[in-house]
Amino acid sequence: MSTVDLGMPRVGFFTDTSVCIGCKACEVACKEWNAVPTKGALELTGESFDNTSELSADSWRHVAFIEQQVQTPSENGPQEGVRWLMSSDVCKHCTHSACLDVCPTGSLFRTEFGTVVVQQDICNGCGYCVSACPYGVIAQREDDGRVFKCTMCYDRLKVGSEPACAQACPTQSIQFGDLDELRERAQTRVEELHAAGQDKARLYGESPDDGVGGAGAFFLLLDEPEVYGLPPDPIVTTRDLGAMWRRVGAAGAALLAGVAAAYLSDRG
């Protein structure tokens, strides 16, 4: 099972949804820097102000707009109001990456920064990684079947620059840096929100003990993960591969032993 073993600090994203204003600057910066096609970017989906809908081969960042009906206090009693939850989603760059486990060509690889990147020039479009991803992040382009996703701006990291989305974010909702430092910062932020009465504030994807060994891109949420379209308990889909192959090997060995025994019995 693919994991992270680096000789240098691992970097990642911390997305604080409590200060996201839904400006989509991250989406624009991502598309501009990485030359991601603008296909569908100007279409109206009918999903609030969201014109992206989901992460895809042509949307490596996706800002979700979630409208919730809430009761707000007033002089005339509780009034119906709208609460906005906004979050910029991205590839999680998992510690245990199922996409790496199933790629038959080595197109997907772990960088020296702990991120997961696709090399499109050797991607054969098999799509194994698409079904292996527990978050539904990786997608294929319709024209040739090759997969595309966030690279955490690998080319920028190699020259000491931060990813384009983090640089463009006007509220520091998207923060980039040493993953351990980001986790400490995120925990402090959660405590601040709890003290301010935001009891539902929680971290998602930061724990090394979760089903993917901790994410390289984690989030501060103000509601349940399902509200944001995130799986509550993601599990690396290849976790049982080793045991499965061992069982196959044992069954094969038993079959061969049976055949050999039958053959020797006939000769006797």
Long-range CB contact pairs, 5-10, < 8 A, 24+: 6/112, 6/113, 6/114, 8/112, 8/113, 9/178, 9/179, 9/180, 10/113, 10/114, 10/178, 10/179, 10/180, 10/216
Tokens of 247: 């069982």
220 strand-pairing partners: 16, 203
Average pLDDT over residues 235-253: 59
Q: How confident is the model at residue 82 (pLDDT cuts 50, 70, 90)?
A: confident
pLDDT at 257 over 70: no
Alpha-carbon gap, residue 237 to 135, rounded angstroms: 10
1 strand-pairing partners: none
pLDDT at 243 over 80: no
Alpha-carbon gap, residue 154 to 156, rounded angstroms: 5
Average pLDDT over residues 53-65: 93
Residues at the annotated binding site? Answer: 20, 23, 26, 30, 91, 94, 99, 103, 123, 126, 129, 133, 150, 153, 165, 169
Give the count of beta carbons closer than 10 Å to the beta carbon of residue 158. 11
As a whole-number percent, the residues of the chain with pLDDT over 90 amount to: 70
Q: pTM for the whole thing?
A: 0.83
Tokens of 109: 């690889």
pLDDT at 119 over 50: yes
Average pLDDT over residues 26-53: 82
Residues at the annotated binding site for [4Fe-4S] cluster? Answer: 20, 23, 26, 30, 91, 94, 99, 103, 123, 126, 129, 133, 150, 153, 165, 169
Tokens of 6: 């680096």
Tokens of 161: 């620059």
| Beta strand ranges found along 35-173 (DSSP E) | 62-72, 79-89, 108-110, 116-118, 139-140, 147-148
List the single range of 118-122, 171-175, 243-247 with lowest mean pLDDT: 243-247
Q: Which pLDDT value is given to residue 51?
A: 80
pLDDT tens by residue, 148-168: 999 999 999 999 999 999 999
Q: Judging by beta carbons within 10 Å of its beta carbon (0-12, 13-18, 19+), is residue 141 exposed, middle or buried?
A: middle
Q: Which pLDDT value is given to residue 80?
A: 84
Q: Which pLDDT value is given to residue 52?
A: 84
Tell which residue, 113, 115, 144, 145, has the closest CA to residue 129: 145
Average pLDDT, the chain: 88
pLDDT tens by residue, 12-33: 999 999 999 999 999 999 999 9
